[in-house]
């Protein structure tokens, strides 16, 4: 029996380690130590210094954080920046109207003078990343609990202040391996980033939510921006005097194409993963968190879709909101299926048994790690009931309806407002007026009203009474859906931009009290207060305890596997991932090729469906086979897949070939592999990339913006 058990454990560990060779989001400064030999064996022809260096120009100088959650890359010596269409969607939407519907028609600046400024958009260039673990932990040896956390935060703050160079740089310290290591990242932030070009949604968002996360894929998911700087090439706010940024490095673009087994590297800013989550955490995701969140968003998406299909103006206003809502909604469903298919809970349990055998072999290990697994069980049991309430509040109340988001902008207590000085009140009122204006630009009363009613009803029906305020329960039992509309939503000043703005311009104590008596604000305030007292404090308290256990567990895993390569979970810092171009077999008797073509777009063409209505000019180009120099043999390539480990935040990341040239633009993952944030399956996990030749074809032949191609360095 012991021999069988040991063989099982050996198999589990072997599987865990073998998967590491095909997965990973690696820290660039450690590539030479951990990855370069393997990368070069797979065909990579350059060095670790070519990827990341502080002594010479390298690829890291051409890869940026685009906006708040995407990656972009420089493709010319005049600051031209390439990223995904869905990363630029909110910017494209902000410039769109019924008269100038850039979402539907696309936008192309035919000169630098026609490029559109975006005051809130940034491009962040990494200057350096440094291991600062010793500095973060300085003076913490004898501290525990809150004193330990406070000291760590004080140290981090001091490190960031010192590294910011008096505000010239943005400095951030982030934990790796669940707080067992810390890195400092410094960025130069450019704040004048202008929209240069975007294809129509029928190209840039072709297939819409139906095709999202799916393969085969035919989405031309790209948009183009330009970074501007002052005359000294330094960051500056928008000014007509600014000039195109001169990058240290930009990517040459290969038009030679790709083929099966080609080396592919993705460089970018993956958002978050949970590769070292215990079995209890996976169980919570599969059996509660994801199903609950999917249910709530399904209801919201049904309402949004109905109103967007009925009114073109609503479609423009809610395009970005719908995309943000549906993206995770579909991913969570794929994640559930993938984790179940992989028996992820059981496999995590098997690894935990191996962990137990390891620490049981030594008294000191037993003393340090002996309570880890039992503590996981205890704290996850405590979390289970509160996790549902937390998700329902976050999804249905705070993140569900526009009018509650507006209510959240106002002070919840009049006493706090009364203590502010006149200058602070004026500043707050002016900022609030600007936020109100932004809010109503993308707001439709009838749409949000129905979302409000439907989500409140779902929230009331699904949650245990113990997590609901008594006043709210009475309201929901007394009012049917129509009365929720007429007696709460329609009576609220928060639904009337003109009246609300007038009150905020004169936001004295009297007007603030009026807002506090507003039916929507009263409801929001009641729900928010109950949540803070009865859900949030417990939920985050338990999560805090779990993170302490997770940190110790991670320390133990690193010790147990000290001779093996381990990569830290993603945390929206620069990472490198690599693999090869290859298709996959998602299910029995189904086999997918590694690429798609323009012919597949034409087969999906449907003028009656917004997301599949191919622009006439693209139809004509296909009919005439007018592909320029961008075709492969006799067809026009569109997208391709590879076995590279990516996640959210990698949207817009450059797909780089063995010679360090740009061959594609990462934009998605295959649905069967969306569980890769938690468990990577080398047979099913594929990242989806737009072939750069299709990008060039659309810019040149479709948009007629060939002058942009002239800026680029094309390599055959």
* Annotation marks residue 221 as catalytic: yes
Q: How far is CA 714 from CA 74, 254, 574, 615, 661, in A?
A: 14, 6, 26, 27, 9
3-state secondary structure of 449: helix
Residues 604 and 638: beta-carbon distance below 8 Å:
no
Residues 690 and 696: beta-carbon distance below 8 Å:
no
Q: Is 127 exposed, middle or buried (0-12, 13-18, 19+ CB in 10 A)?
A: middle
Tell me the residue ranges of DSSP E strands in 191-302: 192-198, 223-229, 243-244, 253-254, 263-268
Tell me the residue ranges of DSSP E strands in 440-521: none
Tell me the residue ranges of DSSP E strands in 657-696: 662-669, 687-691
Count of residues making up the chain = 716
Alpha-carbon gap, residue 268 to 60, rounded angstroms: 9
How many C-beta atoms surround the C-beta of residue 114 within 10 A?
12
Structure tokens at 130: 């440094």
Residues 275 and 269: beta-carbon distance below 8 Å:
no
Q: Tell me the CA end-to-end span of the chain in Å, nearest whole number.
A: 61
Alpha-carbon gap, residue 91 to 344, rounded angstroms: 39
Alpha-carbon gap, residue 553 to 564, rounded angstroms: 16
> Which of 630, 500, 651 is CA-nearest to residue 570?
651
**Tokens 């920046």, residue located:** 81
* Annotation marks residue 86 as catalytic: yes
Q: How far is CA 625 from CA 20, 254, 632, in A?
A: 43, 21, 12
> Which of 41, 187, 238 is CA-nearest to residue 658?
41
H or E element in which residue 434 lies: helix 422-441
Structure tokens at 58: 């390298």
670-681 core/surface letters (b: 16 or more CB in 10 A; e: else): bbbbbbbbbbbb
Catalytic residue among 76, 85, 86, 280, which?
86
What is the 3-class SS of 561-625, one letter each residue? CCCCCCCCCCCCCCEEEEEEECCEEEECCEEECCEEEHHHHHHHCCCCCHHHCCCHHHHHHHHHC
**Tokens 């006493």, residue located:** 415
> Which of 553, 538, 147, 537 is CA-nearest to residue 375?
553
Cross-strand pairs, 81:
74, 225
Catalytic residue among 192, 209, 211, 221, which?
221
> Which of 572, 689, 693 is CA-nearest to residue 266?
689
Alpha-carbon gap, residue 243 to 237, rounded angstroms: 12
Residues 371 and 553: beta-carbon distance below 8 Å:
no
**Tokens 């029995």, residue located:** 588
Residues 378 and 534: beta-carbon distance below 8 Å:
no
H or E element in which residue 693 lies: helix 692-697
Catalytic residue among 651, 676, 677, 681, which?
651
Instruction: Name the residues annotated as catalytic.
Output: 86, 221, 651
């Amino acid at each position: 029996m012991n021999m069988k058990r040991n063989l099982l454990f050996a198999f589990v560990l072997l599987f865990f380690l073998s998967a590491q060779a095909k997965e990973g989001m690696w820290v660039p400064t450690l590539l030479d130590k951990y990855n370069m030999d393997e990368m070069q064996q797979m065909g990579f022809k350059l060095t670790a210094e070519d990827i990341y260096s502080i002594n010479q120009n390298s690829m890291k100088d051409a890869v940026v954080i685009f906006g708040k959650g995407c990656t972009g890359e420089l493709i010319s010596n005049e600051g031209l920046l390439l990223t995904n269409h869905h990363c630029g969607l909110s910017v494209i939407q902000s410039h769109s109207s019924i008269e100038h519907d850039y979402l539907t028609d696309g936008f192309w600046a035919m000169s630098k003078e026609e490029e559109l400024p975006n005051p809130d958009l940034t491009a962040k260039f990494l200057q350096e990343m440094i291991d600062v673990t010793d500095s973060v932990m300085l003076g913490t040896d004898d501290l525990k609990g809150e004193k330990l956390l406070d000291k760590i935060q004080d140290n981090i703050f001091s490190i960031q202040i010192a590294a910011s160079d008096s505000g010239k740089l943005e400095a951030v310290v982030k934990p790796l391996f669940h707080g067992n290591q810390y890195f400092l990242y410094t960025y130069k932030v450019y704040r004048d980033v202008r929209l240069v070009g975007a294809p129509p949604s029928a190209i840039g968002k072709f297939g819409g939510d139906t095709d999202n996360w799916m393969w085969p894929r035919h989405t031309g998911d790209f948009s183009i921006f330009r970074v501007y700087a002052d005359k000294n090439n330094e960051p500056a706010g928008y000014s007509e005097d600014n000039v195109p940024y001169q990058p240290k490095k930009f990517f040459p673009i290969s038009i030679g194409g790709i083929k099966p087994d080609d080396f592919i590297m993705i460089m970018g800013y993956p958002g978050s993963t949970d590769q070292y989550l215990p079995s209890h955490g996976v169980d919570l995701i599969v059996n509660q968190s994801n199903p609950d969140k999917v249910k709530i968003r399904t209801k919201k998406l049904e309402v949004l879709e109905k109103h967007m299909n009925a009114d073109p103006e609503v479609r423009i206003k809610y395009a970005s909101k719908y995309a943000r809502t549906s993206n995770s909604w579909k991913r969570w469903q794929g994640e559930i299926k993938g984790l179940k298919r992989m028996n992820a809970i059981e496999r995590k349990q098997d690894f935990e048994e191996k962990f137990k055998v390891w620490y049981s072999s030594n008294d000191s290990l037993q003393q340090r790690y002996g309570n880890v697994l039992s503590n996981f069980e205890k704290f996850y049991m405590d979390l289970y009931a509160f996790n549902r309430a937390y998700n329902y509040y976050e999804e249905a109340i705070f993140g569900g309806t526009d009018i509650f988001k507006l209510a959240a902008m106002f002070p919840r207590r009049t006493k706090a407002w009364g203590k502010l000085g006149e200058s602070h009140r004026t500043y707050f009122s002016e900022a609030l007026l600007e936020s109100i204006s932004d809010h109503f630009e993308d707001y439709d009363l009838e749409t949000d009203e129905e979302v409000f009613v439907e989500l409140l009803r779902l929230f009331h029906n699904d949650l245990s009474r113990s997590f609901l305020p008594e006043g709210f329960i009475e309201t929901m039992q007394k009012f049917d859906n129509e009365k929720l509309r007429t007696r709460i939503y329609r009576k609220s000043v928060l639904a009337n931009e003109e009246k609300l703005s007038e009150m905020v311009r004169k936001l004295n104590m009297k007007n603030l009290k009026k807002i506090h008596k507003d039916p929507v604000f009263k409801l929001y305030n009641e729900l928010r207060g109950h949540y803070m007292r009865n859900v949030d404090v417990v939920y985050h308290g338990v999560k805090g305890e779990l993170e302490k256990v997770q940190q110790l567990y991670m320390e133990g895993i690193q010790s147990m596997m000290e001779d093996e390569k381990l990569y830290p979970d993603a945390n929206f810092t620069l990472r490198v991932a690599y693999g090869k171009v290859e298709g996959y077999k998602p299910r029995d008797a189904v086999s997918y090729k590694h690429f798609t073509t323009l012919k597949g777009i034409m087969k999906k063409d449907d003028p009656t469906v917004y997301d599949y209505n191919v622009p006439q000019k693209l139809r004509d180009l296909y009919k005439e086979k007018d592909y320029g120099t961008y075709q492969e043999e006799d067809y026009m390539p569109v997208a391709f897949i590879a076995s590279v480990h990516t996640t959210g935040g990698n949207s817009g990341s450059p797909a780089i070939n063995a010679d360090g040239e740009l061959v594609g633009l990462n934009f998605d993952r295959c649905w069967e592999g969306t569980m890769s944030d938690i468990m990577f399956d080398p047979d099913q996990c594929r990242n989806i990339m737009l072939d750069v030749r299709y990008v060039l074809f659309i810019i040149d032949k479709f948009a007629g913006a060939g002058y942009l191609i002239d800026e680029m360095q094309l390599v055959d």
